[in-house]
Structure 1
Amino acid sequence: MPDQLEPDSILREITDLDARIGELRQAAGMPAPDLRATLDAALVELELALEALRALGADQSSSAGSSAAAETERRVLRTVFQDAPVPLFLIDRDTSVRRVNRQAAALLGTSPGYVSGKQFTAFCDLATRAALRSQLAGVVRTGRRRRVPVRLLGRERPVDAVVTLARVWIRGEPDPMVVAVAGAAAGAANGGAEDAGRQERKAPDRQERENAGRQEAAAKREAPAKAAPREPAPAAAPANPLPAAPRADEDETVATVVHRMDVLANAAELLMDEPVFNETVAVRRCARLLAAELADWAIVDLVGADTSPQAAAVPWQPGDAGPPDPAGVGGGRLQRQVVMGPDDERSVHAAQMIEKLDPAPGTLPASVFTTRQSTLRPHIEDLELLGTGPDGQPVCGTIGATTTMCVPIEEGDRCLGTITLASSGEHGPFDLMDLAVVQRLGRYLALVIRAARLYRRRAEVAETLQSSLLPRRLPAIPGVEVAAHYTAATHGAEVGGDFYDVFRTGDGWGMVLGDVCGKGEDAAAVTATARHGVRLMSRWRDDPAEVLSAVNHALLDEDRFVTAVMAGLKPGGDRVTITLGTAGHPPALVVRADGVIRTASRGGVPLGLFNDFEAGIDTVDLGPGDTLFLHSDGVLEACDLNRREFGQERLLETLAGTATASVQEMLDAVERALLDFCDGDLRDDVSMLALRVLPRELA
């Protein structure tokens, strides 16, 4: 077949040329580009354009001579191809691999069937792909042989080679093909030193783990041999025994398995090592571990925390009405959460850009999320597999990815998101063992996310219910300053039993602070009964002891008891008379303006226990600057790391030190002292209520 182009094929040649020029531009903008190879390829494209112009309208020449040559070349290919001692690839003009021999498959560390049908450039590093496409096009068009340096992505590590490209015509094929012969590049004889260098460039922790795995494997293999007694030799041994498997390969395989098991163990420890499940922390820990141990880049995408039935991700099945929703079945939209990559400046900039890109329909994460099927792409052919950036460049090209995988994060019947890993292929492509590890880790992460979202939802419900049990704002009482403070325990997501209230009575004002035994929804019901019961009974009775007695009868049918302290306020001139009723609660404290502190009388039994109820009673007089301080037992029982309680003395010291501050500043000071003492770890809810008599000029 002639070298000239038919007029009808000009359009195809122009389209192919445009695509290859675009790839050359991308290659020139990559990290550490091979500008010489890119320039050579650009010159080839110029030659092709010139040939296309010359061939426009040219007639085809006779094909008799070429047919004989083609038949000869075909016989040569049949004879030589499989038994050739060098790697051979038969490539279409669109760079698809039609056939490979055993040597070529061994060079890539895979099988001939896996290579066939894929783009030849998918087995080359990104820096040389664009130039290689142009050189292939040049060979197809001109018939002149070319030698191109490439870096083939082998199973264990890249292989530097020089590929000789030669055009062949095969009968029955409308277009010419190219035979690629791969040979060792200059300096490849020093492969041992180069391999050592590549090993040194591995992440230090990953290399240490692999070395440890090899040592452990060797120890396990040798230990039985040392311990077992020597058996007598068999009477007759085979004349040609099979050679033993190489020990180095054995160690390498076992080391890989040990390393993957170590990754899973570390993942479980990192994800579960949280006293309170935190989705953000878990996702970042998972991505950081994967980027350090298995890949160059780790990307996690998640849907929102909507747990309604409409948001449940149901996998699409063939035959279902309508195609799957790429944005997330049931309305859940897949959103980018975390991107972890190398820490060099360019990679950090790329990670920031990728974090802003939610998975688009048709990308690998969106497809895996929709189908809930893990996907392994050992060799990336489509660089837009992970989407394109704002600059129009493919994400795979930006991060230098040649191998990728993506697994769903799923628990039960819901898919919560995806984990995507990508690497340059420097340590070989991802394999099924890597995929199995990441699949298991995806299930671990799904369980943590589910627990975190349930915990957060319960915490939100508890917070809403708790706020409904406390007054939104305190009323303004003439002549006095009132402040309150509530701090929930740092552990658990249940509703606390603390409550307080300030309300108007028949001829004055009332204050109450109490604590229901236990937590949760049942305790919340009792809390509401106690708080509103005190407020309601105070409309008809002024004596706190009588009010508490009536509430006691209302709580006798409940299975929880309540401790409380109530104060009745009677303003008179510049002083306020306080009548106190106590039901098994820590006593009220009176902080005088000069810092002297008096403890009111104790007494009474908790509400809801006995029919025969009697409250502890006391009366105090407050002058200008004096403060009445009510608190729950969570203040006194807060513990430090040595399990020592905060106690009464520390509370009194804090109150005395803030006697002249505002009541709100006084409560803030007590809270700071508590959190400092227990290092922020409150085991019980804390409630405080304070009232101060204002001087006449401030009243």
Structure 2
Amino acid sequence: MRERLDPESVLREVAGLEGRIEELRRAAELPDADARATLDAALVELELAVAALRTVGGEQGGAAGHTAAAEDERRVLKSVFTDAPVPLFLLDRDAGVRRVNRQAADLLGTSTGYMAGKRFTAFCDLATRAPLRSQLAAVIRTGRRCRVPVRFLGRERPVDAVVTLARVWIRGEPDPMVVAVAGPTTTPVAPAPRSGTAPRSNSIPQGDSVLQGDSVPQGESVARGVDVAGDEAVASLVHRMDVMASVTEMLLDEPVFNETVAARRCARLLATELAEWVVIDLVPQRQADGGGQTAAARNGEGTPRRHVVMGPGEDEDAEDAARRISETDPEPGTLPWTVFETGQSDLRPHAEDLDLLGACSDGRPVLSTIGATSVLCVPVTDGDRAIGTITLAGSGEHGPFALLDLSVCERIGRYLGLVIRAARLYRRRAEVAATLQASLLPRTLPEIDGAELAARYTSATHGTDVGGDFYDAFPAKDGWGLVLGDVCGKGEDAAAVTATARHAVRLVSRWRADPAEVLATVNEALLTEDRFVTAVLAGIAPRGAGMRVTLGVAGHPPAIVVRADGLIRTAARGGVPLGLFGDFEAGLDTLDLAPGDTLVLYSDGVLDACDVTRRQFGRDRLLETLAAHASGPVDDMLGAVERSLLDFCDGDLRDDVSMLALRVLPPSLD
């Protein structure tokens, strides 16, 4: 039929032509693109362009001559849709599905109501969408029938078919429509599923017996179909329960929560079991600590960032695609952004919009890059708000995503969100503990004439509470003071007592030279606290070429003197911990240090460290390590003890470890 195109129609034709040409370009770039089909479609587009140019300014042909034929076609269509034994689709000029018959719905394993209103091309794989769209436009424009090879995305697996397209005129419709007839189909053998993958739905493959002439008796076929459907439904449900259990065990199998590890493990499992591609977007912790996500997003804060992209296998193309997708964050208008803002999950079994997941850095849509036709997206929630999204995308090789997949992923999103919340709380608490712990120790050690100082502090490997160990070196009334102590317990309460004990020792030592008197005064200050403190205090005073050390001990492991020749002397022990009794008495001792001698103070965490058999590091190993490094720098001596300790317990320290050492230097030549 020849028709004159008015300016509005010309603009519409040109816009449609441009859009279809762009789709053909994208389709040609797909790895499994049919070059011949794309070329044929391109030639059709050229023919349409020429035909449109020839009709511009032409006369409107009489449509009345087609009235009888159109009415006949309408009556034929009405009966055909009811009784035809082949799949039939009625499409509008924009390829929207107006109506389908039961056979067409069975072919795709869905319902007639579900398909109505959606794009016909949405039910085809990406490689055939663009050529099909061009052929539909050609049929609408020229009225010539054509046959197009199509790969339908069936519920269970793709179905290859040859579709015949024919233009029809229906009374009451301003534009012509298209009838699509799916001819004899061949259902290819589905690829071997990935390990653990089960069919995504509980429906049975349909269309084979109808379209290929299955010889099995009808009653037997129906019974067999019911059995197969029941078996597949059970297998599908059990598989998803296994996925849920695996995710739960995987996320909780971490003594110390780590959100990056949890997200990557979750993505890897989902990419193995439920989808070809998994993308996880999360709000960084510094942004997630703020207000609500919608207000934050408007202010440019609290926006999700791409965290993990996991694709199928490890081939070069998949890795390149994953890299490009990783370089782009969710943008407003994309599905992950919308799900994050609304907190509502979204399922697109047949994704029509190629820009649904945005575009890569090269401008190519993400869906085209990964060849995905089915998408679902769920929020990652921490119990209070959305902190990210999980997006699954598949090519349809195992059927489109279903509501059961959405339900499973929603639960996984909640699990992952709770783990991330715990990880962030744990990390925040660890940072606070580290900051508080640092404030309880001197930033730097002072310089003491004629002596060399060194210290080591190693926190326990379990837990995030502030430790109770402390040490300090400070000016005293008659020289210098060294103190090392350990508060009973951990946490903020212990930290408060630690600060009180440390600063009280420094303050009192300004006016009192005797360590016993200093400790007695500190004991009075700690009597009101709920925790006790063990400590050793050393008063250092010059004495000839060496130094005299006066020790006060309050229930703490005794100090050690390492002579320059490697001999070891252990100072006296004694006293009771501070803060327990009003009647306090410290253990006392006096030592003389010659040049090269080293005084070592340490916490009980050194002695109590255990190996896997629960043997303690003990006093003998400590003394042997100190003696072996008596001639080296004092910092190297403490480092050797630390390494020996960590090797002994395989890095698993159950208590904090602190050490403080002073070595007398030989007299200078000056």
TM-score between both structures, scaled by the size of structure 1: 0.90
Aligned to 1:237: none
Question: Are the equivalent residues in 2 in contact too, given 1:6–1:60 (CA < 8 A)?
Answer: no
Question: Are the equivalent residues in 2 in contact too, given 1:24–1:42 (CA < 8 A)?
Answer: yes
Aligned to 1:236: none
Question: Are the equivalent residues in 2 in contact too, given 1:3–1:142 (CA < 8 A)?
Answer: no
Q: CA deviation at 1:638?
A: 1.3
Correspondence 1:327 to 2:297: yes
Instruction: Go from structure 1 to structure 2 and tell me whether the alpha carbon gap of 1:351 and 1:325 turns closer, same or farther (over 3 Å shift).
Output: farther
Q: Secondary structure at the match of 1:384?
A: coil
Instruction: Go from structure 1 to structure 2 and tell me whether the alpha carbon gap of 1:573 and 1:184 turns closer, same or farther (over 3 Å shift).
Output: farther
What are the Cα deviations for residues 245-301 of structure 1, in whole angstroms up to 9, with x where unaligned?
632222111010000000000001000001111111111111111111111111111
Give, in whole Å, the separation in 2 of the partners of 1:133 and 1:397.
16
Give, in whole Å, the separation in 1 of the partners of 2:300 and 2:532.
46
Correspondence 1:273 to 2:253: yes
Q: CA deviation at 1:77?
A: 0.4
Correspondence 1:18 to 2:9: no
Question: Are the equivalent residues in 1 in contact too, given 2:195–2:272 (CA < 8 A)?
Answer: no
Identity percentage of aligned residues: 68
Aligned letter for 1:429? P
Give, in whole Å, the separation in 1 of the partners of 2:132 and 2:288.
52
Q: Where do residues 304-453 of structure 1 align in structure 2 (5 Å cutoff)? A: 304-306=284-286, 310-313=290-293, 327=297, 331-342=301-312, 343-453=314-424
Q: Where do residues 84-233 of structure 1 align in structure 2 (5 Å cutoff)? A: 84-185=84-185, 188=186, 191=187, 194-195=188-189, 198-200=190-192, 202-206=193-197
Unaligned runs of 5+ in 1: 214-239, 314-323
What are the Cα deviations for residues 22-77 of structure 1, in whole angstroms up to 9, with x where unaligned?
11111111123211111111111111111111111111111121111111111110
Instruction: Go from structure 1 to structure 2 and tell me whether the alpha carbon gap of 1:308 and 1:252 turns closer, same or farther (over 3 Å shift).
Output: closer
Give, in whole Å, the separation in 2 of the partners of 1:350 and 1:593.
65
Instruction: Go from structure 1 to structure 2 and tell me whether the alpha carbon gap of 1:430 and 1:308 turns closer, same or farther (over 3 Å shift).
Output: closer
Question: Are the equivalent residues in 2 in contact too, given 1:568–1:579 (CA < 8 A)?
Answer: yes
Question: Are the equivalent residues in 2 in contact too, given 1:3–1:141 (CA < 8 A)?
Answer: no
Give, in whole Å, the separation in 2 of the partners of 1:655 and 1:206.
59
Aligned letter for 1:334? P
Correspondence 1:626 to 2:597: yes
Give, in whole Å, the separation in 2 of the partners of 1:644 and 1:175.
88
Give, in whole Å, the separation in 2 of the partners of 1:541 and 1:204.
75
Choose the corresponding residue for 1:249, options 224, 229, 232.
229
Aligned letter for 2:132? L
Aligned to 1:594: 565
Q: Secondary structure at the match of 1:262?
A: helix
Give, in whole Å, the separation in 1 of the partners of 2:367 and 2:223.
43
Aligned to 2:209: none
Q: Secondary structure at the match of 1:152?
A: strand
Give, in whole Å, the separation in 2 of the partners of 1:522 and 1:698.
50
Choose the corresponding residue for 2:498, options 527, 531, 534.
527
What are the Cα deviations for residues 126-159 of structure 1, in whole angstroms up to 9, with x where unaligned?
1111111111111111111111111100001110
Instruction: Go from structure 1 to structure 2 and tell me whether the alpha carbon gap of 1:410 and 1:698 turns closer, same or farther (over 3 Å shift).
Output: farther
Correspondence 1:490 to 2:461: yes
Q: CA deviation at 1:513?
A: 0.3
Give, in whole Å, the separation in 1 of the partners of 2:30 and 2:223.
47
Aligned letter for 2:64? A
What are the Cα deviations for residues 191-215 of structure 1, in whole angstroms up to 9, with x where unaligned?
4xx43xx242x212436x99xx9xx
Question: Are the equivalent residues in 2 in contact too, given 1:328–1:370 (CA < 8 A)?
Answer: no
Give, in whole Å, the separation in 2 of the partners of 1:501 and 1:154.
74
Aligned to 1:300: 280
What are the Cα deviations for residues 345-386 of structure 1, in whole angstroms up to 9, with x where unaligned?
111111111112111001111101111111101010001000
Give, in whole Å, the separation in 2 of the partners of 1:252 and 1:155.
13
Aligned letter for 1:69? A
Give, in whole Å, the separation in 1 of the partners of 2:11 and 2:508.
93
Choose the corresponding residue for 2:617, options 618, 636, 646.
646
What are the Cα deviations for residues 565-589 of structure 1, in whole angstroms up to 9, with x where unaligned?
1111112343121111111111111
Aligned letter for 1:593? A
Moved over 6 A (4+): none
Q: Secondary structure at the match of 2:472?
A: strand
Instruction: Go from structure 1 to structure 2 and tell me whether the alpha carbon gap of 1:436 and 1:638 turns closer, same or farther (over 3 Å shift).
Output: same
Question: Are the equivalent residues in 1 in contact too, given 2:191–2:397 (CA < 8 A)?
Answer: no
Question: Are the equivalent residues in 1 in contact too, given 2:282–2:304 (CA < 8 A)?
Answer: yes
Give, in whole Å, the separation in 1 of the partners of 2:624 and 2:140.
91
Aligned to 2:630: 659
What are the Cα deviations for residues 79-135 of structure 1, in whole angstroms up to 9, with x where unaligned?
111321100111112111111111101111100111111111111011111111111
Give, in whole Å, the separation in 2 of the partners of 1:53 and 1:438.
52
CA RMSD in angstroms, aligned pairs only: 2.0
Question: Are the equivalent residues in 1 in contact too, given 2:296–2:302 (CA < 8 A)?
Answer: no
Question: Are the equivalent residues in 2 in contact too, given 1:487–1:685 (CA < 8 A)?
Answer: yes
Aligned letter for 2:74? R
Unaligned runs of 5+ in 2: 203-219
Aligned letter for 1:280? T
Correspondence 1:575 to 2:534: no
Query: Which stretch of the first structure deviates more once superposed, 661-670 or 290-299?
Result: 661-670
Aligned to 1:695: 666
Choose the corresponding residue for 1:262, options 238, 242, 247.
242
Aligned letter for 2:404? M
Give, in whole Å, the separation in 2 of the partners of 1:373 and 1:682.
45
Instruction: Go from structure 1 to structure 2 and tell me whether the alpha carbon gap of 1:553 and 1:90 turns closer, same or farther (over 3 Å shift).
Output: same
Give, in whole Å, the separation in 2 of the partners of 1:344 and 1:427.
20
Give, in whole Å, the separation in 1 of the partners of 2:630 and 2:50.
94
Give, in whole Å, the separation in 2 of the partners of 1:245 and 1:159.
18
Q: Secondary structure at the match of 1:671?
A: helix
Aligned to 1:225: none
Aligned to 1:224: none
Q: Secondary structure at the match of 1:327?
A: helix
Question: Are the equivalent residues in 2 in contact too, given 1:157–1:426 (CA < 8 A)?
Answer: yes
Instruction: Go from structure 1 to structure 2 and tell me whether the alpha carbon gap of 1:516 and 1:326 turns closer, same or farther (over 3 Å shift).
Output: closer
